[in-house]
Chains A and B, each alone.
Chain A
Amino acid sequence: MNRTLRQIGLLIQKDLRIEARGRQTIGLVIVLGILIIVVLGMGLGAGRPVSGFGATSILWVTYLFGGVLCFEKTMAVERFDDALAGLLIAPIDRGVIYASKLITNLLLIIGLALVVTPVAMTLFRFDLSEHPLAFFIVMSLGVTGFTAVGTLFSAAVSSTRLQGGLLAMLVFPLSLPVVIMSTQLMRKVFEEGVPLTSTDVATLCAFDMIFLIVSWLVFELVLEP
């Protein structure tokens, strides 16, 4: 157990060090997120404050597009110099590779969210002060499920020549239930004033758990040099 954790830690460190040296992914993704918010702001914001319900949809657009770019980049790192072959030969379980890629992707998306969410809140005058905790729980559970699916398919797609757009095509429809669930829960919380129930949280958790387990099981079959 300790050994597995150390292996995961090492792999994450490796990915983050590559990221820290170039700062390619996180910078790109944050700028993309701000661009999306500006474009949406032209049409939707236009002087009116947007409720927490609208906020989730707008943020989801940035998270989805930014997330897919993160997934592509973290797997593309392994494509250079056949790094993936080395990783596959190393005496580690494939599940460890999945876990490390998942956590790296999560960290990148959290980085994206930490910048983009406040920007969106200022530009759209979102008011999350009524139920900040519900917003945080729902969005973080949703992003986890999205990342679980995205990490799985990034490994599958990175071996094919045709990458552009394919990953987004695979991941967006599969993430629709989480997106619908979180926007609708936010509508209930912010517009109808219904507090978040444990059933809602449990459903989101179940989604995350099932997709984590399935991805972990299937990842081994998907990862081929």
Chain B
Amino acid sequence: MNRKCLVYGFWSVTLALFVASVAMLFLYTPIEKTMGPVQKIFYLHLPIAINTFLACFVVFIASIGYLWQRKMWWDDLAFAAGKVAVLYCSVVLLTGMIWGKSAWGSWWTWSPRLTFSLVLWLLFVVYLMIRPSIDSPQRRAMISAVYGIVAFIDVPFVYLSVKLLPDIHPASIALAPAMKLTVLVWFLPITLLALGLLRAGYLLNRQIRTESQRNQNMVFESAPPASPTPMEELA
């Protein structure tokens, strides 16, 4: 009961903070002079992007943990983190594309940052996609763990490679104090949401694994008794 209260409390706080951040964005935060109202996408974009990296890092750590200890819960954690990473990276791509459409008039340009998000998204979507195609749970955990580690090591190289593309992005934006405060406030609900989703996804994976193990046990238990072997007949 106590635990349930805690979970409900956590989600209400997260939702309330999210709503408060949206309210702050519209009522308090000033509009950036050169870019206009579309710059306000930034307050969502940046915390989501940073949390994407954190989720990828959790995949990396959990993958190492699995290869080290060979405990299935590490795999469940890595899978949950992979889902959060893909979800957050999708939001990064989406907000980035909308911003690009407003700023440059096209939904997609091969600018370094957009390409970087796209490659990162592809890397971790593949992580989720390959899992169902491997039947044995041990092999699935092992291959995804190796993939998770290599994918994370890949990220800095993706960054270096996209830097070779021609860039039209603004180098950096000077933020007024009120804008900085808004970014900081936005970090709260976004990070809490990531943690909540990670925990919920982890619990769901544990549930599914429990069920599949229980089903396996039932198959063993309900199997017809083996016919007596010759030795037993003799006895």
A173 touches B143 (CB 8 A): no
B126 touches A153 (CB 8 A): no
- Among A75-83, A129-137, A206-214, the stretch in contact with B: A206-214
The CA-CA distance from A88 to B57 in the complex, in Å, is 33
A207 touches B157 (CB 8 A): yes
Please, how many residues of chain A have a CB less than 8 angstroms from a CB on the other chain?
Answer: 30
A191 → B minimal CB distance (Å): 11
Indicate whether A180 sits within 8 Å of B135 (C-beta atoms), given known contacts A157-B143, A222-B146: no
B150 touches A214 (CB 8 A): yes
Residues of B within 8 A of A218 (CB): 67, 146, 149-150
Indicate whether A152 sits within 8 Å of B146 (C-beta atoms), given known contacts A166-B130, A180-B161: yes
Judged by a CB distance under 8 angstroms, whether B234 is at the interface is no
Indicate whether A221 sits within 8 Å of B67 (C-beta atoms), given known contacts A162-B134, A162-B135, A181-B160: yes
A176 touches B135 (CB 8 A): no
The CA-CA distance from A173 to B157 in the complex, in Å, is 12
A180 touches B139 (CB 8 A): no
Q: Which B-chain residue is minimally distant from A199 (CB atoms)?
A: B160
Convert A173-185 into 0s and 1s, putting 1 for each residue whose CB lies closer than 8 angstroms to a CB of B: 1101110110011
Indicate whether A203 sits within 8 Å of B160 (C-beta atoms), given known contacts A160-B136, A221-B142: yes
B208 → A minimal CB distance (Å): 20
Q: Which B-chain residue is minimally distant from A159 (CB atoms)?
A: B139
Convert B96-139 into 0s and 1s, putting 1 for each residue whose CB lies closer than 8 angstroms to a CB of A: 00000000000000000001000100110010011001111001
Judged by a CB distance under 8 angstroms, whether A28 is at the interface is no
Judged by a CB distance under 8 angstroms, whether B211 is at the interface is no
Indicate whether A153 sits within 8 Å of B146 (C-beta atoms), given known contacts A174-B123, A177-B119: yes
- Could you list some 30 contacts between A and B, CB below 8 A? A149-B150, A152-B146, A152-B150, A153-B147, A159-B139, A160-B134, A160-B136, A160-B139, A161-B135, A162-B134, A162-B135, A166-B134, A169-B126, A173-B151, A174-B150, A174-B151, A174-B154, A176-B123, A176-B154, A176-B158, A177-B119, A177-B157, A177-B161, A180-B119, A180-B162, A180-B165, A184-B164, A185-B164, A203-B160, A207-B157
Other than the known A162-B133, A181-B161, A214-B149, what 18 A-B pairs have Cβ atoms closer than 8 Å? A153-B143, A156-B142, A161-B135, A166-B133, A170-B143, A170-B147, A174-B151, A176-B154, A177-B119, A177-B154, A177-B160, A178-B161, A180-B162, A180-B164, A180-B165, A181-B164, A185-B164, A211-B153
Closest 7 interchain pairs by CB? A184-B164, A177-B157, A181-B161, A180-B161, A177-B161, A177-B158, A173-B126
Q: Which residues of A are in contact with B by a Cβ distance under 8 Å?
A: 149, 152-153, 156-157, 159-162, 166, 169-170, 173-174, 176-178, 180-181, 184-185, 188, 203, 207, 210-211, 214, 218, 221-222
